[in-house]
Amino acid sequence: MSLVQLDIRGISYSQTQTGAYALVLSEVDGERTLPIVIGAFEAQSIAIALESEITPPRPLTHDLFKTFAESYNIRVKEVIIHKLVDGVFFSSMICIQNDEEKVFDARTSDAIALAIRFNTPIYTYQNILDKAGIILKQEDFSDAPEEENRIEEEEDEITDLLNSSKPEDLKQAYQNISTQELEKKLNTAIEKEDYETAAKIRDELNRR
């Protein structure tokens, strides 16, 4: 079976279904996306790894694993999402130590959180994409407001998979707060290790 490389497209969260997140992966040379439901902790860990400007005051579990592995000259070569059973994705991490290759079973969310930290590729098999992949609506956009509409439409499609309503627009939530005040709130959230709030504030700052 042929392998298909995936990129991380983003994380969609639900405000009505506590703890429900969808990690959205997209095939590198194609239009299909692969949404995977993950837990809150794993979603935050992935979001922090993707956001270079957020540095936790203490290492998260996946950061600790990376430090531990590197101290023993272990690196993650690649992650493969190799099986889908009753809506649950199964993954393997291919690791290398001193030119010896070993394969470990892992939860997909954990495997991807580590793949980001080790800067290693993520793959799945063609038959899994055929079975679970979806194509988000794509249109030709030429300006920023229309691009925002496209992103909102894509978020709607993903959150439908979680049986939840559309996430609250962060612009509306923070529209009366200055950029300087948002930056203070971001620092406070990081100090409190409230990474979910920090990620939302960072999203709003990036949009501005």
pTM greater than the 0.75 cutoff = no
**Per-residue pLDDT at 187:** 78
Contact 81/129 with Cβ under 8 angstroms?
no
CA distance linking residue 74 with residue 53, whole number of Å: 26
Least-confidence region, from 2-6, 25-29, 104-108, 189-193: 189-193
Which of 127, 109, 114 has its CA nearest to residue 4?
A: 127
**pLDDT tens-digit series, residues 134-178:** 886 554 333 444 444 444 454 455 445 444 334 444 455 566 678
Average pLDDT over all residues of the chain: 79
Query: Once rounded to an integer, what is the mean pLDDT over residues 1-21?
Result: 77
The vertex-198 CA angle with 193 and 199, nearest 5°, equals: 125
Domains of the chain: 3-135 (3.10.690.10), 151-206 (no CATH)
Helices marked H in 3-143 — which ranges?
Answer: 40-50, 61-71, 108-118, 126-132
Q: Output 141 or 41, whichever has higher pLDDT.
A: 41
CA distance linking residue 186 with residue 31, whole number of Å: 34
